[in-house]
Structure 1
Amino acid sequence: MQTTIWTVDSSVDNLITYPQIQQAAQFLKQNEVVAFPTETVYGLGGNAESDEAVAKIYEAKGRPGDNPLIIHISDRQQLNSFVEEIPEKASRLMDEFWPGPLTVILNKKEARLSDKATVGLATVAVRMPDHPVALAIIKACGLPIAAPSANMSGRPSPTTAAHVAEDLNGRIAAIVDGGPTGVGVESTVVDCTEEIPVVLRPGGITAEQLAAVVGEIRMDPALSDKTKAPKAPGMKYRHYAPNAPLYLVDSSREKIQQLINEKRREGLLVGMLTTEENQAFYDADKVIACGSRSRLETVAGSLYETLRAFNDSPVNIIFGEVFPEHGLGNAIMNRLKKASGQPVIS
C-alpha cells in the first residue's frame, strides 16, 4: 500500500474546506484509515461504525484485538447516536475539559458502533480532541472516528508526522501532517458509569483538576497493583518502549552514575534519560534531557520523542530518572513504567 502524506497548516481559517481535509474525510468514508494530529499525540483514525475500518486499524498497528479503542467526535450531539445517557458528573467534566485531553467512559447504545471498536463491552470511551485538524476531519466526514495512537503497538506514541511515517508508512492509506502535537501524553481516561468517577488512565488532565470540578475522584487500583486487570484503552499491554531495555531509578544522581559506570565496565553502551537540570551531571554514551523538572509539561510534551531518540543510537541499556507521582507527574510515570516493564530500582 502506498501511503499518501498531506501537509496542512493548522492555523488557517475554514480548515474544513481545504482539499487535504476533504480528501482525508473521503478516505474515512471509504473505510480506509488515516493518521492525523490531535493535541496529545497523532491518532490513527477509522470509521467507528465499520468493522472493516476498525479491523484495518488493528492490523496496521499490530494491536491486540481485545484492546478497545477511543471514539473521537467533533460535536457533543454525536453522542446521542451511540451513548445511552450522559450522567451529570460526566456532563460537567465535558463542559470544563472538552475539547481537550479527556476521555470519558459511558454506557453505549447497541447496534451503532462496531463491536470491534469496543471489543463487545457495554461501555464506550469517547473524547473530543482539541486540535483544529482533527476536528475539521471529523466534521468533514460526519462520522464517529475510532483512533488509537498512530504507531506500531508497543512503540512510543507519535508526536510528529515523521514518527507516524517511521512506523506505518506503507501500512495505512494516508497521513495528515499538521505539525508537532502539544500535550505529548495521551488523554486522561475517566469511567463515569459509576457514582464516583474513576481515573483509569492518567493523562493531560490531572486528577486534581477533575476533583475541582466534580468532587471525589477515585484511581483505578490497576494503576498501582499489577495483579489487577486494567480497564482503560491502551493500558493492558506494555507500551511506549524504546528498543533498548529501560530501567527507572529512584535514587540520587551519584547512585545512578554508579549504575551507569557498572554497565559500561561490562562493555555495554548506556543511555541516560534525564532532565535539563541534571543533564550535565551524567557521563553516559547517550544523555538526553526530556524537559525541565520544574515544568513537567515540557517533560510530557517531549517524552515520546525522547524515547524514540534513543533508537537512533546503539545503546544497549537505558536508565531513567523518576518523577513525583502527583499532578502531571502521575501521567509521566505511568508512561515510563509502561515503557520499562521493570520494577523501579531504588
Structure 2
Amino acid sequence: MVPVDFWNPDPTVIARAAALIRAGELVAFPTETVYGLGGNALDGEAVKKIYAAKGRPSDNPLILHFPGPEAAETAAYVDDRARGLMERFWPGPLTLVLPARDCVSKEARGGLATVGCRMPDYPAALAFFAACGVPVAGPSANRSGRPSPTNARTVAEDIGSAAAMILDAGECRVGVESTVLDVSGAVPVLLRPGGVAMEELREFLGEVALPVGVNELKRSPGTRYRHYAPVVEVRVWEPGAAFDWPEKFTYMGVALPERTPARRIHFDSFEAYAHGLFTALRELEKDGLPIVAQWPPLGGIGRALRDRISRAAGLL
C-alpha cells in the first residue's frame, strides 16, 4: 500500500504502478466514486486475474478507464453524441457503453460487442492511466457481492495480496459508483444510476430510456447479480410507511427512525448518505443485527442510493 497525493502523485510511484499493469499485474487505484482493481484491458490473462481476485462471474463486463477522451477512442468507436457527453461530463462519474474495438480483450468485455468507458475526476488516477499507456479495466476493488470500497484499508481487507500495489489516496469523494449510460444504440439507456443524475442526462440529451430485460442490463456491471451486501439482513424503511421494526437493529439514514436502534449512523443529507453508504454497511454489519436503511427519494442521487440499497437488501 503506497500513499499518493490527490493532485500531485509521486511520478516514481506512478511509474512503478504503471509498469506493473503493463507486466500483467493488478493495481488498486482511487477514483472519486470507489476504489478500482486495475489490469491491462488488452491482456486477457491479466483480466482473468481481476475476475479471480474478486470471485466475479466472467460474463459481468468491466469498465475501462482512460486519461482523456482521445485515449477512449483507441478502445471504442465514439460518435458525435458520445463526444458531446464526454465534453460535458468527463472527467466525472459517467461511464459510456460504446461499440468496442477488437483490441479490447473479450474477457474485459464479458464476451460482448460493447465496452464501458470512463474518465474519473481524480488527478492521481488520471496520471496513473496516462502512464500505463493502455486501457485499464477496473471494477470495484472488493470481493464480488460485498459493499464497494471507498478507502484503501477496505481494499486490503477484501483483496489482500491479489493486488501487486494499492495506491492509497484516502477516502473517495462521491462514494457510489459511476452512472452507466448505454449510447451504443439509437436511444441512450440508463443501465445503472450513479454519480451523474438522470435529470442531468435528460437535460443534456432529451430522451433517456430505462433498460428493458437482461439483454440490455448485461452491458453494465452491477445490474444482474446481488451486490453491496453485508453479512447481515438489510431491511428498507420509508418514513411514514407501515414497517415491521425488528426487536433489535442498527440504522442508517437521514431521517430519525421511529424506534430506538442499537446503533445509528445519521447523515445530514442524501449526498452524505451516498458518500457513506458502503462504509456504513460494513461498519454496522459488525454488530450482527439487521440493518434498517432509510429509503431515499427518487430524484438526484436518490436514484443511485435506491439501486444500491435494493441490491444490498436482495430486492433486485
TM-score class normalised by the smaller sequence: over 0.9
User: Could you give the per-residue CA deviations for residues 21-62 of structure 1, whole angstroms, max 9, x where no partner exists?
Assistant: 111111111110011100100000000000111011001111
Residues 87, 192 of structure 1: 8 Å contact kept: no
Does residue 208 of the first structure (1) align with residue 199 of the second (2)?
A: yes
What CA distance in whole angstroms lies between the structure 2 residues aligned with 1:118 and 1:227?
14
Alignment-derived partner of residue 264 in structure 2: 287
Alignment-derived partner of residue 132 in structure 2: 141
- CA separation of 1:113/1:227 partners in 2, compared to 1, >3 Å: closer, same or farther? closer
Shift of 1:87: 2.4
What CA distance in whole angstroms lies between the structure 2 residues aligned with 1:171 and 1:69?
17
Residues 68, 234 of structure 1: 8 Å contact kept: no
- CA separation of 1:138/1:56 partners in 2, compared to 1, >3 Å: closer, same or farther? same
Residues 115, 219 of structure 2: 8 Å contact kept: no
User: Could you give the per-residue CA deviations for residues 269-313 of structure 1, whole angstroms, max 9, x where no partner exists?
Assistant: 4222222x416x541222222x22xx3211111111111111222
Alignment-derived partner of residue 59 in structure 1: 52
User: Could you give the per-residue CA deviations for residues 208-266 of structure 1, whole angstroms, max 9, x where no partner exists?
Assistant: 101111211111135xxx9985542221100001110101123538x54xx33xx32xx
Residues 191, 217 of structure 2: 8 Å contact kept: no
Residues 21, 27 of structure 2: 8 Å contact kept: yes
Shift of 1:158: 0.5
Does residue 240 of the first structure (1) align with residue 231 of the second (2)?
A: no
Give the alignment of 1:26-175 within 5 angstroms: 26-84=19-77, 86-110=78-102, 112-175=103-166
- State percent identity of aligned pairs: 41
Stretch moving more, 295-304 or 59-68: 295-304
Shift of 1:319: 1.7
User: Could you give the per-residue CA deviations for residues 116-140 of structure 1, whole angstroms, max 9, x where no partner exists?
Assistant: 0002211111111111121111111
What CA distance in whole angstroms lies between the structure 2 residues aligned with 1:90 and 1:229?
19
Give the 3-state SS of the residue equivalent to 1:310 in structure 2.
helix
What CA distance in whole angstroms lies between the structure 1 residues aligned with 2:154 and 2:27?
14
What CA distance in whole angstroms lies between the structure 2 residues aligned with 1:89 and 1:75?
16
Gaps of 5+ in 1: none
Give the residue type in structure 1 aligned to 2:285.
Answer: N
Alignment-derived partner of residue 278 in structure 2: 304
Residues 107, 122 of structure 1: 8 Å contact kept: yes
What CA distance in whole angstroms lies between the structure 2 residues aligned with 1:50 and 1:80?
18
Give the residue type in structure 2 aligned to 1:273.
Answer: M
Alignment-derived partner of residue 4 in structure 2: 8
What CA distance in whole angstroms lies between the structure 2 residues aligned with 1:26 and 1:326?
42
Alignment-derived partner of residue 307 in structure 2: 334
Task: Say how many residue pairs are matched.
Answer: 316
Does residue 322 of the first structure (1) align with residue 315 of the second (2)?
A: no
Shift of 1:18: 2.3
Does residue 278 of the first structure (1) align with residue 278 of the second (2)?
A: no
Does residue 186 of the first structure (1) align with residue 177 of the second (2)?
A: yes
What CA distance in whole angstroms lies between the structure 2 residues aligned with 1:320 and 1:252?
14
Residue of 17, 35, 51 corresponding to 1:24: 17
Structure 1 runs of 4+ aligned residues shifted over 2 Å read 79-82, 226-231, 249-253
User: Could you give the per-residue CA deviations for residues 69-118 of structure 1, whole angstroms, max 9, x where no partner exists?
Assistant: 0010112222332223x2222111111000110000111122x1111000
What CA distance in whole angstroms lies between the structure 1 residues aligned with 2:181 and 2:315?
26
Give the residue type in structure 1 aligned to 2:90.
Answer: W
Residues 249, 261 of structure 2: 8 Å contact kept: yes
What CA distance in whole angstroms lies between the structure 2 residues aligned with 1:167 and 1:137?
22
Give the 3-state SS of the residue equivalent to 1:189 in structure 2.
strand
Give the 3-state SS of the residue equivalent to 2:140 in structure 1.
coil
- CA separation of 1:104/1:342 partners in 2, compared to 1, >3 Å: closer, same or farther? closer
Give the residue type in structure 2 aligned to 1:7.
Answer: P
Residues 75, 135 of structure 2: 8 Å contact kept: no
What CA distance in whole angstroms lies between the structure 2 residues aligned with 1:251 and 1:39?
30
Give the 3-state SS of the residue equivalent to 1:212 in structure 2.
helix
What CA distance in whole angstroms lies between the structure 1 residues aligned with 2:215 and 2:81?
29
- CA separation of 1:229/1:74 partners in 2, compared to 1, >3 Å: closer, same or farther? closer
